[in-house]
A = this chain, B = another copy of it.
């Protein structure tokens, strides 16, 4: 029965989403002008989605054919992977669609609600976010679980037999198609969306603010609608697809590793879940996570109409932290309920038998629970780190502000240095998380740490999507010339939204990092290679190449923004020149043309980085294959490449996100005024101009190239996982129960209370040998 629980939870989440959606849609959408602007944004968003879908359709067809050809020639790959891939793409695209639509409908309703009160405005905007969050999480879990059940029935008749491990491997390999489909959409949404949002932003500003001297969000600017559409494309659809992909991939990787737990326990276990408890566990956590997130979103509310940023942020924090605590409790219960009291797993290189073969170690399954706590801890702490390095009023920002007084050059250096230094605590946190969750429960522990962290995805996305909705609501208030109090209220929401945007990026990169590690572990296990030894020169060479790819990818993404923005600039200039009365407000700008240009340019410009992402791992796998190189050697090289991309990608993501966020808030600091060398300095000062330059550099960093790293590292590892069956030996060596009994080493739960959890596996091993 437990196998259906996640589906039930997903459906429950989707039903709640529908109820919430109809509630949001029933809210007052305001009067003529507001509605008109909102409709423009809505239509612009739809235009982007439709263009994206057309391109996507072509992409999906090509990849499907390639996958099908592979499945025909490679015995270990089943053609059903094509179906899974297509559905993964469709589900993710549909989730993005739901999110974009609700976001572009909620913005104007938030403006309208802000005319009455701040609590109402929060309720509406966060309601929209909730729809987005539950839509993404619900569809992800629904799709993945449904396909798992289908494949489990199809390949195994829903029963674990003597060849269970091997059959389940086929099930999960086929299921990887779903994840690949989802992540492919994320490539388009995150990278394409990232280029779109900044091209429109820069284009609108360069001609509007700088050349024509009209304010931001001025309806006379033809690019202003594209700019507002961009907020949704990048921050709503992009982030949604990113987390959809992480969610699915994390659960999948954990299932793969769960399958090997069963193998290490002698090939089968008997439990109340058809003997597949360790495989079902990650799905169950994901399912329960949806219900918990639902509860969390209900807690987000404020009462006072005079509330400030702190109270609004506090309301979001209550919802977030309650969700995290509830997930921890749920993990405890589910692990106690679903896992055998003790499980066996191999720790690489530990507990070798006489033949030098690594033998499983039996551990208390509570250690898996501790690993999930590690994941939840990382999810919480990474946000704090991000907030420290990018938050208004924090030391790093104040330093950048000071450095702005000596010009743009020093401002830029300070911002770059801030982003670079921020990698220090972040990477130490990740490294500690990898080490400790592995020491607790092997790579299954790492994958479950990621799963637990991702369980609150719906809540995270609700908080994330609320930001751009509030941003849009402010834009609509400005464009429709509302009373100042309305803009004041939306500004409070917007300011909170800026903070959540930064911390959300922290969560997204942490999730991408852990997901990639889990995928990496699943990859190695799938291929059955003997670890990844960087003392082999080809592997080391690929580590270098992998390290380089995120750097080049980032540069391409940044250049893409520049090119797309230039096309936008020319179009806006043309309209100012050719449409009579446009500056007087009598001529009507052709908003749709600007939207079309952003759409086209962004999708065109994402091609090259996309090809780089997909092409490199394929080239590394297939070119040496043509030359007849040993498949396992290739698998190891590809593993080295994956590690290089992940390590370098995580670094560049943190660096770029935080540098960009820091520049942004350094610039914003001037709005309220800052003290530089004892003097209060405001907007319009030379120092402020320097800070604006910094923000220009930071924009593509934080909204295009930085977040794209998430997709790059996940997609790289997923492609590896999908081609693993072609490379891998599907190592047949099964360890019999007797062998396990003879070789196992018992690690008791009491040992985990020792000072050094990380080391006790090793210590114990030595004592026993």
Contacts and interface: CB of A to CB of B under 8 A. Distances in A.
B697 A412 contact: yes
Contact of A763 (B424, B628, B643): B628
B431 A558 contact: no
Contact of A555 (B416, B434, B692, B763): B416
A534 to B, nearest CB: 5
A428 B545 contact: yes
A386 B13 CA distance: 56
Contacts of A540: 434, 517, 643
Nearest to A399: B559
A410 B531 contact: no
Given A356-B356, A431-B544, A414 B562 contact: yes
Contacts of A648: 547, 647-648, 651
Given A423-B552, A438-B537, A650 B544 contact: yes
19 contacts: A206-B406, A349-B536, A349-B633, A407-B696, A413-B558, A414-B562, A416-B558, A420-B551, A423-B552, A428-B548, A434-B544, A437-B537, A533-B533, A544-B650, A629-B762, A630-B762, A647-B647, A648-B651, A693-B693
B446 A537 contact: yes
Contact of A531 (B412, B535, B556, B694): B535
B759 A628 contact: yes
A644 interface: yes
Contacts of A403: 562
Contacts of A630: 762, 766
Interface in A502-556: 517, 521, 524, 531-538, 540-545, 547-548, 551-552, 554-556
Interface residues of A, number: 86
Interface string A407-443: 1111011101110110110011011101101110001
A348 interface: yes
B650 A431 contact: no
A408 B693 contact: yes
A431 B628 contact: no
Interface in A699-745: 700
Contacts of A423: 548, 551-552
A655 interface: yes
Interface in A375-427: 403, 406-410, 412-414, 416-418, 420-421, 423-424, 427
A154 interface: no
A270 interface: no
The 3 closest A-B pairs by CB, nearest first: A409-B696, A438-B537, A420-B555
A73 interface: no
A602 to B, nearest CB: 17
A624 interface: yes
A409 B551 contact: no
B629 A555 contact: no
Contact of A633 (B416, B417, B762): B762
Interface of A: 206, 348-349, 356, 403, 406-410, 412-414, 416-418, 420-421, 423-424, 427-428, 430-432, 434-435, 437-439, 443, 446, 517, 521, 524, 531-538, 540-545, 547-548, 551-552, 554-556, 558-559, 562, 624, 627-630, 633, 639-640, 643-644, 647-648, 650-651, 655, 692-694, 696-697, 700, 756, 758-759, 762-763, 766
A702 B555 CA distance: 18
Nearest to A529: B535
B410 A562 contact: yes
Nearest to A628: B763
Contacts of A348: 533, 535-537
Contacts of A692: 409
A695 to B, nearest CB: 8
Contact of A532 (B535, B555, B633): B535
A542 B438 CA distance: 13
Contacts of A644: 647
A543 B651 CA distance: 12
A434 B544 CA distance: 10
A542 B647 CA distance: 10
Question: This chain: how many copies in the complex?
Answer: 2
A401 to B, nearest CB: 14
Nearest to A696: B409
Contacts of A443: 537
Contact of A410 (B356, B696, B758): B696
Contacts of A762: 629-630, 633
A551 B696 CA distance: 22
A624 B435 CA distance: 13
A557 to B, nearest CB: 9
Contact of A409 (B416, B424, B693): B693
A531 B529 CA distance: 14
A384 to B, nearest CB: 18
Nearest to A557: B417
A438 B547 CA distance: 20
Contacts of A639: 534-535
Nearest to A433: B541
Given A431-B542, A559-B417, A648-B651, A693 B548 contact: no
A629 to B, nearest CB: 6
A410 B693 CA distance: 9
Contacts of A416: 555, 558, 697
Contacts of A554: 420
B427 A547 contact: yes
Contacts of A558: 413, 416-417, 420
Contacts of A427: 544-545, 547-548
Given A544-B434, A628-B759, A552 B424 contact: yes
A443 B762 CA distance: 31
B435 A538 contact: yes
B408 A408 contact: yes
Contacts of A700: 413
Contact of A407 (B356, B420, B431, B693): B693
- Residue of A438, A544, A556 contacting most chain B CB atoms (<10 Å): A544
A555 B650 contact: no
A263 B236 CA distance: 62
Nearest to A552: B424
Given A406-B206, A408-B693, A643-B534, A651 B421 contact: no
- Residue of A443, A541, A696 contacting most chain B CB atoms (<10 Å): A541
A647 B543 contact: yes
A235 B90 CA distance: 58
A412 B413 contact: no
Contacts of A446: 537
A305 to B, nearest CB: 40
A551 B651 contact: yes
A56 B499 CA distance: 46
Contacts of A693: 407-409, 412, 693
Contacts of A524: 535
Nearest to A561: B413
A696 B412 CA distance: 9
